[in-house]
Structure 1
Amino acid sequence: MSSVSVIPCIQGKMGNTDFYQATMTASDLVHRVRAASELDEWTTMSIEDRLQRDPDIKRIKEQIAPYIAGSQDRFFGAVIVLIYKGEVIFESIKALKANIPAGYQLIADKMGFLTIAGCALIMLDGQHRLLALEMVIKPNHDNRVDGVCREEVPNDDICVIFIHHESNEKTRRIFNKVNRYAKSTSRSDNIITSEDDGNAIIARNLLNEGAPLGWKVKGTKNEKEDIVEWKNNTITARSAKLTTISVVYETVKLILNDKNVSLGETSRPSEEDLEQYYEWVEQFWNIVLEGLQPYQDALHNTSKIPQMRKDDQPYSLLFKSLPQIALFKGLIAATRNDRLSLREAVKRANTIDWSMSSKNWTNVLVTPSGTMARAQQAHNLGGKLIAYLIGADKMTEQEIAQIQREYSSAYGVNINDPNIKLMPLPKPVVEPVSEAVKASV
């Protein structure tokens, strides 16, 4: 919206955020307020700048719009509209020197008019309701929804709270908190929008252009998309995405925890700390992507990823979410206390059999029926087994024995029975050396 608008409103302030509460007719709202995805800059924005989730058109068309168009008792709460850029001026009734009775003097400072010039009005909270109103009100809408109340809806008063855009960080934080407390947001939504969770901030930065995961793939509409799936927590079989933002987030936590850094979700680290933490994580991811040949092949030609992910392929596990987390756990364990360099550990990982059909992973990452395991235990045991396969020659006999006990337990072996023979561990990349031999060297 580029023209000047004057809107009667009530001014308020919560924390350090000024807001203005007003009403707009549904027709005005539809014609003057835009969804964030309709911003001209939207297609060129990085994930760091996108302030809203993509709308669920199916839910809007089948649930929200029919309710608005067909119910006499229709009602919903206030929407929050972002005054994006431009000039905003609030003038109170008292400042206008109107003849106000004494009884109203105390509240006259809060009542007045909001002048908005050269701004875009963007729906910060209420995008689904806005798009539903469009389906009901706009006569030529592609998803037009009819109902007995459709003719009345344009004149409905909609409660609107206006907030002036100050920065992407503040806007994203407001969006995240409003949606988190009003309705549970998905894990990926929280990672994308949180400005207080340091792990989420670092995970997002890994997806920026020039970052380790800033690669692009050809989407379903031949458009370039991020190689990391950040809209959903899962990847479809045909997807050319390498991994999910949820997996990336978990790897950030693992890498930082190994450096004794534990970041909460409600307290943003300093910019200096974030920069240092990002460098650690960036370096780790770069070494993994550069050192694992299957990932190099995939990044060289992302169209191969769906084929490489298939269960019968030699590196299929490297393209599935749970094994990816186990991989990072294994690499971290194998390199702890400088027993192996990360580059050497990744180099050795290239020689592991990563096929889902490999018996190495049965009852660990893969169920006996051939499907992916889902329990947290699979992450943990999978990571330990990977660490053993990579760095058995750097482990003590006690460490190997403990992994063998856990591996046997996963097969249902009663490890507390001294007469029961434990399951043999798979053959590692480099055979371990006995303590006696180590002592003689």
Structure 2
Amino acid sequence: MDPNELNVMLNLPCLKGRIGDWFYYCSTMSFCEIAKRVKLPVEIDKKYKDPNLKLGEWIQRDIENGRIEPIANYLLHQNERFFNSIVLGIYDGEPSWQEFDIKISESTTDNQLTEKDLRHFSQTFGILRLSGNESIFAIDGQHRVMGIRKASIENSKKFQYDEVSVIFIAHKTDENGLKRTRKLFSTLNRYAKPVNKGEIIALSEDDNCAIITRMLIDENNYLKNKIAINKNKSISQNNSIDFTSVIMLYDIVFKILTNNNIVGYGGLVKGRDKTSYTNKRLSDSEIKSDYKIIENLLDKLITQIPVFTNFFINNNTINREDKSSSLLFKVIGQNIFFDVIKASINEDRIDQTISFFISHDFSLNNPIWNTIFWDNEKQALNTDVANQKYAKILFFDKLNIPTKKTSKDLEIQKNFNLSL
């Protein structure tokens, strides 16, 4: 064993429970103790000489470093922080469980607890004692553990009173034990249901894009009652009254305000850091300022581009099934259009870009877009990603916006041989 192991006793108040053939212990651990005691499987491997004991090879997926920084930032900057329980595997050392002996005072006259209740409570409440020599690893919640560790290193004083709920299970390193823990890990990750994007937009108070999206839906005179609130990014062909979906509106806000990469664009994208902007809430004044950027841009687009004016101001409906309908009312066209808009803002060419779209027919009646996006055989829209990128590059070239073309892009450009 590593001579630098903790060897520090830790007593944790616990509830003992059972589900199926697993016994588990529910408690809380301070951030400091999580950071010190909970290891990655590959870190535990280094403690042993046994070449057959390689937790890192079987127990968990690879750590995604890109997920740790946002978690640490969330903890460091969010006062209303909260985590759900972390499931911890524990073996080695000398963990012990001591039940409480619960009794009712003889002076109690109104005892509502039966002997069966008292026996159950005594068997359920207790203390889990850790010697400090245990090997503890996250079966579910490894990225949260690493986020806690990183945040604690950066500012341990901030988290001196923070605790997280933990669930301990006993892990054994024999063949059956390995199979049981591996199966549990697989089950936890298979049946865990991640929060979908629509729920994030509806609920998040940390994602500034989500907050601004909700503000636009509630407060913007143009968008009010013209956004489809559904779980999908796409919008029904039969929908004639909504501009776009709530998820696409979120993506538009994200495109305009952050430094997210624009495929096919050759310049450096300016804007808020895309990671921190969607994980750390800004001040109310900063949010209002960013909201105003989006609102002013929408006002400029809606009042100048005729198809937008007809829809938003003149209240014309949309026939999305008609080829004459502008692609600006389809998700594929909105993705392209708002990437072009963001790149033109980057290059200080927004007025030239709007002027071009004022007179441009961005519909399938235009032979260029019909060639690129219409599948005659299937009689349906072709949403191939490479074709969308080619469309953006056509706009960039027309508007003198720098491009970044791969050999495949050049091949597609040669095959289509089109220009605006």
What range is the shorter-chain TM-score in? Answer: 0.3 to 0.5
The two structures have a TM-score, normalised by structure 1, of 0.45
Comparing both chains, which one has the higher relative contact order based on Cα–Cα distances under 8 Å and sequence gaps of 6 or more?
2
